[in-house]
């Protein structure tokens, strides 16, 4: 099951690296997700990724941390469905309005998280 953690970590790293290199793509991506029914697909993906992390946690180097990340993914997925759309839209607009430097700093944090998952799976 550690392969799931490796795959999720690699996916997060790839998306983060792509957006670090092209931070101008982030506002369009946020508009596409938060301005349509793709929001429910994003919520489902977060729920599934969280469930995969929770299920795979016993087979990795830091099971408590990976399980906690899985539960945070699940809560985030539920939050996308429960939080009112205007509030989600304001949050997305705030991220869209960030400078390229601030966007890259957030994405470096996401890249670090992905690298942690890769390390946890391979250690």
pLDDT per residue as tens digits for the range 27-49: 888 888 887 788 899 999 999 99
- Check residue 89 and give its pLDDT: 86
Query: Average pLDDT, stretch 80-84?
Result: 90
Per-residue pLDDT band at 59 (split at 50, 70, 90): very high
- Check residue 74 and give its pLDDT: 97
Cα(54)–Cα(82) distance, integer angstroms? 22
Q: Are 118 and 61 in contact (CB under 8 A)?
A: no
Can you give the pTM of this predicted structure? 0.88
Query: Average pLDDT, stretch 96-123?
Result: 94
The CB density around residue 76, as the number of other CB atoms within 10 Å, is 15
The pair of three-digit structure tokens given for residue 85, joined into one six-digit string: 């759309």
Among the residues of 22-123, which ranges form H helices? 25-34, 38-56, 63-82, 85-96, 100-122
Mean predicted lDDT score pLDDT of the chain: 92
- For the chain, the distance separating the N- and C-terminal CA atoms, rounded to the nearest angstrom, is 14
């Amino acid at each position: 099951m550690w392969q799931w953690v490796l795959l999720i970590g690699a996916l997060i790293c790839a998306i983060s690296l792509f957006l670090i290199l092209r931070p101008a793509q982030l506002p369009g991506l946020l508009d596409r997700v938060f301005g349509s029914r793709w929001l429910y697909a994003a919520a489902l993906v977060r729920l599934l990724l969280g469930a995969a992390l929770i299920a795979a946690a016993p087979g990795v180097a830091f099971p408590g941390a990976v399980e906690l990340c899985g539960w945070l993914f699940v809560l985030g997925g539920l939050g996308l469905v429960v939080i009112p759309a205007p509030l989600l839209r304001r949050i997305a607009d705030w991220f869209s309005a960030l400078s390229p430097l601030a966007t890259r700093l957030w994405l470096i944090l996401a890249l670090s998280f992905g690298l942690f998952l890769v390390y946890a799976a391979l250690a």
